[in-house]
Amino acid sequence: EMTVAYAQERVQFGKPIAARQAIQHAIAIMATQVAAARAASDMAGRAIGADGALDAGAIAAAKARASEAAGVCASIAHQTHGAIGFTAEHWLQFLTRRLWAWRDECGNEAFWTRRIGARVLERGADAFWPDIARGDADPAHETLRQEVRAFLATATAHMTPHDRAASWMGHDAEFSRKLAARGWLGMTMPKRLGGHDRSPLDRHVVLEELLAAGAPVAAHWIADRQSAPLVLRFGTPEQIDRAVPGVIRGETYCCIGMSEPDSGSDLAATRTRARKVEGGWRVDGTKLWTTYAHRSTFMVLFCRTDRGDGNTGTRHASTSQFLVDLDTPGITVRPILDLAGEHHFNEVNFEDVFLPDDALIGSEGQGWDQVTSELALERSGPERFLSSITLLIEMIRQLESAPDEMAVRTLGRVTANLIVLRQMSFRVATLLTEGQDAALQATMVKDLGALFEQEIPELARSLVTVEPTLDPADGYAAVLGRTLAAAPSFSLRGGTREILRGIIARG
């Protein structure tokens, strides 16, 4: 709070330093670290049971993570205050001295991460995720978790670690239909449509287990996570009946038409335009990086709407979204290979495409509000910190026999971070269950989660001497190679790191 106030008051080059993007991003980092420390503290408090029993693992992870956050925040506070904060005349010194002492009380980070890491290696790779996910407060969640694990033990038995490393980019329509048959798609959607009226927390439990197992969820992922909820919230009864039941059955798949060649993260700069004509709209433009458009049924298209009078309003107010059947004439899908040579992305071209009036989602000009609500759903889930989980588990397997001190402490730190990230993500699911706005908290989870996911392959390279490869037959080296190849995307998808930190700073 003191650093934010100082940044707003301190003027340099004619402006408060808080107007500088570099300062905004630095303070956004502080904000995410404070959020992590708060989640760690809350977790430790809950770990002290009513009967006085302690969950020592949770408390150890909380101490390690909060101490790390303290170090980061103190460093940024001093950098932001500059020379004045380095003097005995300013009271920042008292806070940083106290933080230093707190970090070392009852054992510093090295003490606790060593203990956590030793426990991880003692228990082994196969126990890693069950240990992380144990202790659900609601017994019903634990029952659900065990049901999902039993299903996955059979349904994914044929998958290699390399297959599992694809994470939520693995596409298997048959698997999606099996999930639907178990009631694990459309979990929060109305029963009248075939859904199950369950809570976001129930859905969160299922998602965690699917991702931790590396299950191939890409076929239904976008539709179940955000497209169907968007149509349910803003769509007409006809749109809901046309799209949502198929999503719940695992038969209808969706892609997102947001990004464009020239707009990138600046969604409001979209050039794809829908012109009003008799009976509907004519669309021209190009969407890029459209994941699995070549295997999707519908696209939720974000574009500029112009009735032809030249008055398109503000950049945000003149945008709308449409539910587009991808079999519509005039739509062309061109594959784009990623740096591993795999086909997930596509360029989707619209050339004088006619969309009927009933394709418009909600009302004209509502596109920006719809997109922001959609992105909150996209940014908060466990996919934001479990994309590298297969590599982490396989790295533990490699280190079990002969770990060194560096490996033990590194695994302890990674485990503590994962435990706290999971708590933060569950908090977002809780807020959604309560009907609250969780957009800012979701953005923090996304930012911290991307850092965590991208750190795993780099740590794996430093702890296990093996040359990564893209050859699926090469075991651990192939898992490392596949994760390394995917890692650059972790801080791009769902909003780039820079965009997210701007949102956090404004929040």
**pLDDT over 70 at 171, yes or no:** yes
pLDDT at 123: 95
Domain with CATH 1.20.140.10 in the chain: 2-114
Check if the beta carbon of residue 416 is closer than 8 Å to that of residue 44: no
Domain with CATH 1.10.540.10 in the chain: 139-252
**Residue bearing tokens 């297959």:** 163
pLDDT at 383: 86
| Higher pLDDT, residue 277 or 50 | 277
**pLDDT over 60 at 309, yes or no:** no
Phi, then psi, of 206 in degrees rounded to 5: -65, -45
Cross-strand partners of 287: 348
Average pLDDT, the chain: 92
Does 256-370 carry CATH code 3.40.50.10470?
A: no
For the chain, give the percent of residues with pLDDT over 90: 80
pLDDT at 46: 86
Each residue of 440-464: pLDDT tens digit?
Answer: 998 999 999 999 999 999 999 999 9
Angle between helix 439-463 and 367-379 (nearest 10): 40
| Closest among 222, 218, 220, 223 to 171, alpha carbons compared | 218
Structure tokens given for 440:
């800012």
pLDDT at 310: 45
Check if the beta carbon of residue 280 is closer than 8 Å to that of residue 316: no
CATH number of this structure's domain 139-252:
1.10.540.10
When pLDDT is cut at 50, 70 and 90, the band that residue 321 belongs to is: very high
pLDDT at 474: 86
| Higher pLDDT, residue 468 or 373 | 468
What separation in angstroms does the CA of 404 have from each of 401, 409, 472?
10, 9, 28
Question: How far is it, in rounded angstroms, from Cα 208 to Cα 129?
Answer: 10
Task: For 430-459, give the DSSP string.
Answer: HHHHTT---HHHHHHHHHHHHHHHHHHHHH
| Closest among 68, 37, 130 to 413, alpha carbons compared | 68
What separation in angstroms does the CA of 498 have from each of 28, 124, 250, 265, 505?
10, 37, 35, 9, 11
When pLDDT is cut at 50, 70 and 90, the band that residue 311 belongs to is: very low
Does 2-114 carry CATH code 1.20.140.10?
A: yes
pLDDT at 313: 56
**CB atoms closer than 10 angstroms to residue 110:** 15
| Higher pLDDT, residue 247 or 376 | 247
Each residue of 114-137: pLDDT tens digit?
Answer: 999 999 999 999 999 999 998 666
**pLDDT over 60 at 372, yes or no:** yes
pTM above 0.85, yes or no: yes
pLDDT at 316: 76
Mark residue 163 as left, alpha or beta (left: phi above 0; alpha: psi -120 to 50; beta: remaining): alpha
Give the dihedral sign, CA 207/391/444/39. Answer: positive
Check if the beta carbon of residue 17 is closer than 8 Å to that of residue 11: yes
Task: For 280-321, give the DSSP string.
Answer: EEEEEEEE-S-TTGGG-SEEEEEEEEE-SSS---STTTTEEE
